[in-house]
Amino acid sequence: MDKQIWIGTNWKMTKDLEESISYSKALLNLNRKLKENIQLFIIPSYPFISQVKELVKESTIKVGAQNMHWEDVGAYTGEVSPKMLKDLHIDLVELGHSERRQYYNENDIDINKKVKSALRHNIKPLVCIGENLEEKSFGLSKEVLSSQLKVCLSEVSIDDISKVIIAYEPVWAIGENGIPADEDYVDMVHNYLRDQLINMYGEIGNQVTLLYGGSVNTDNYLKYIELANIDGLFIGRAAWDMESFEEILLTLNDKF
């Protein structure tokens, strides 16, 4: 059986309802051309999750949320609970994105609460980790990533760890001014992350899906996807535009 490859994108705060529907319909048509081993996922903004999920419900495309609270109910104005997301039949939830950490003071301890809550509700956690440029310049990348892994996955059982997706997104490589990472550096980091997961969970650590995301585009995606410990790509702007996303997906479909 061909190796499963996860390819997805987080829309952040970019698409209105009309754009969300139009994109989802186009992706649905594209998905019909892809082999079964290519697993697509999209993460819309909260208001449009229901409409997007309804459009793609008969397909293999998975739909996620961009964040959630760890409590089921409570006086948390502006927050969304895992129970609410379950009502929308979502498949996964993105946790710990660097923008959440930077702008909303999220930390690894809170992310760990969310990971465990998502697993309790049978929602797949997609946990984002990554070092910033200052940490990288001081040679602290491995220490930072090891700490993020250990805290975010604290008390996650050996039975549950294979349900978790880890997305390595170096903070210095993402966003509009991101610097695409050299594939040798990405290879080193992903090999290190795999080793850490095996140290934490034994051989089942090999079953954890590792994604790379950081200024992935039509010029570099093949360099990344061919690395040994990359199970998929978490793509930003290059996936928001259907023309470039189609180029990436159809090439991967032919290659794998």
Residues known to be catalytic? 97, 169
d(CA 91, CA 125): 9
Exposed/middle/buried for residue 172 (C-beta within 10 Å: 0-12, 13-18, 19+): buried
Q: Which two tokens stand for residue 224?
A: 């990344």
d(CA 186, CA 180): 10
Enumerate the H helices of 105-140 as residue ranges.
108-120, 133-137
Map tokens 């609970």 to a residue: 81
Q: Which H/E stretch holds residue 211?
A: strand 209-212
d(CA 104, CA 195): 31
Q: Which two tokens stand for residue 28?
A: 């649905």
Map tokens 């140290």 to a residue: 199
